Chains A and B, each alone.
Chain A
C-alpha cells in the first residue's frame, strides 16, 4: 500500500532520515516508537506527503505522495496539536474538505459527518467551536475530520501526547475501534500498553534509522535488541 524506499531527508545539513525503507501493507496496524529526535514524526509527515524528501521515494499504490494531492486526500493524518480549523465549528471542520476538495454535495457530507460525530462519540458537540472543546474532544473531531475523506490509510502523529491521561483514553479508544474495523493505521506514540494491544507490528527508530521492525508479539523478546531494551526501560521507569 505504502512503499518507503531509501528515504533520505535533512534539515539545514543535519540528516533526519537516513535511508529509511518500510513497506506498509493494507490492513496493518503499525506502531512507530523511538526517542525524541529519532525522526519518527518527520517520517510520518513525509508519508503524508506534507514534507519534501531529499532522496529515495514514497509511493502510495504506485503514486508519489509528495506530488499527488489525490494520494494525500486518501491518506488521513492526525496531529499532536489537533489543528482544527479555528473559525469553523465541529461539524463544519469535518465537512469542509469533502465539500471543497471532492466537491461533494452538502446534504451527503452532512449525513456522513453526523455519522462520524456519532462514531467518535461527540454528536452533541456538532455546533461547538474548537476552543469550546477539551483537548480530547478536539482530537476526536480531528480524527472524524480525517475520516470524512474516506482515507484508506490513517497516520497518527503522537495523537495523545498533548492530553491528560483521562482524555488519552477516550482518544485511544476511538483509534482502537478504527483499527478493529480494519483500517490501515500507522501511529507514532509513547503509549507502550496501547502499542502492544493495538499494534501488530512495532517499528523502533533511533537517529534517523529503523533499528527494529518486529511483530508486536515479539516485544517480550526485546532483550535481544539492546538499543530497544534500553529505550523501553527508560520510558517505563516512571
Chain B
C-alpha cells in the first residue's frame, strides 16, 4: 500500500518526531503552569478578602470569555507594540497557560469546596494551623475531585496546542502543513499528525484511569490507596 508507506515514512521522520516533541512540550508546560495558577486563583476566589475575590472573578471572566485564538494572536502580535517580544513557543505557552488557568481555577475551587466544613473544624480543634490543615486534611481529599477533570484538561490542552501553529511554532500541525506545502501530500502528512495526536490522547487516558483507580479508596475495601501513601512520603503529585 503506497499510501500507508507515505504515512509510515512521515511518522518516523525527524521533522514529525520534532513536531510531536514540540506539541508534547507545549502541552505539558502550559497545563502544569495552568494547574499551579489555577490553585492560586481558586484560593484567591475562596479567600475572605473581597479584593482578592474580585480579582479572581475578573480573571476567570476575562480569560474564559475571550477565544483562546484571539488571546494567542494578541500575545504574539499586539504585545510587541508594548515592547514585549515573545517567540512562537513563548507566546503559545503564555496564552494557553493563562487561558487554561481560568478553567483550572474552577476545577480546583470545586475540589476544595467538596471537603466539608466538619473536616476543617476537626483539624482546627486538633490545633493544626491553616497550612497543616490544607496539606494534610483538605488537599488529599480535594485531589480525588480535582484529578479526573484535570486529566481531561490535559487532553484538551493537547488539542488546543495545535493553535500554536498560527504563531509559527513548529508543532505537529505546522510540521504537517510545511511538509505538505513542499510536496502537496496533504493526506498522508495530516494522517501522520493525527496518529501522533491519537497516540498522545491514548497515553493521557491511560494515565487518567491509572490515577483514578489509585485514588478510589471505596472501590476495594481491602486495598490501600497508593496515591495517598505516595503523598505521605512527600511525593505530592503536583
Contacts and interface: CB of A to CB of B under 8 A. Distances in A.
Contacts of B58: none
B181 interface: no
Contacts of B141: 85-87
Given A69-B129, A100-B132, A129-B217, A87 B124 contact: no
B122 A79 contact: yes
A44 B121 CA distance: 13
B127 A83 contact: no
A81 B122 CA distance: 10
B228 A87 contact: yes
Interface residues of B, number: 23
Given A86-B119, A87-B141, A50 B136 contact: no
Interface string A118-142: 0000000000010110000000001
Interface string A66-110: 000110110111010111111110000000110011000000000
Contact of B121 (A73, A75, A83, A101): A83
- Identify the interface centre among B127, B129, B137, B221: most chain A CB within 10 Å of its CB: B127
A70 B128 CA distance: 10
B228 A97 contact: no
B118 interface: yes
A3 B126 CA distance: 20
A146 interface: yes
B124 A101 contact: no
Nearest to A149: B126
- Identify the interface centre among B121, B144, B225: most chain A CB within 10 Å of its CB: B121
A145 B126 contact: yes
Contact of A101 (B122, B128, B144, B218): B128
Contacts of B88: none
Nearest to A77: B125
A58 interface: no
A69 B118 CA distance: 18
A85 B119 contact: yes
A52 to B, nearest CB: 12
A79 B118 contact: yes
Contact of B125 (A72, A82, A85, A87): A72
A101 B119 contact: no
B38 to A, nearest CB: 21
Contacts of A88: 228
Interface residues of A, number: 30
A79 B124 CA distance: 12
Interface string B112-147: 000010110111111111001000110011001000
A48 interface: yes
B223 to A, nearest CB: 11
Contacts of A101: 126-128, 132
A131 B218 contact: yes
B119 A72 contact: no
A83 B126 contact: no
Contacts of A79: 118, 121-122, 125
Contact of A97 (B119, B126, B217): B126
A149 B127 CA distance: 9
Contact of A146 (B116, B125, B128, B221): B125
Given A50-B121, A131-B218, A85 B127 contact: no
A153 B24 CA distance: 57
A72 B124 CA distance: 8
Contacts of B129: 69
Interface of A: 48-50, 69-70, 72-73, 75-77, 79, 81-88, 96-97, 100-101, 129, 131-132, 142, 145-146, 149
30 contacts: A48-B125, A50-B124, A69-B127, A69-B128, A72-B125, A72-B127, A76-B125, A79-B118, A79-B121, A79-B122, A79-B125, A81-B118, A83-B121, A83-B122, A85-B119, A85-B122, A85-B137, A86-B119, A86-B141, A87-B140, A96-B126, A96-B137, A97-B126, A97-B127, A100-B128, A100-B132, A101-B126, A132-B221, A145-B126, A146-B126
Given A73-B127, A87-B141, A129-B217, 7 more contacts: A83-B121, A85-B141, A86-B119, A87-B225, A87-B228, A100-B128, A101-B126
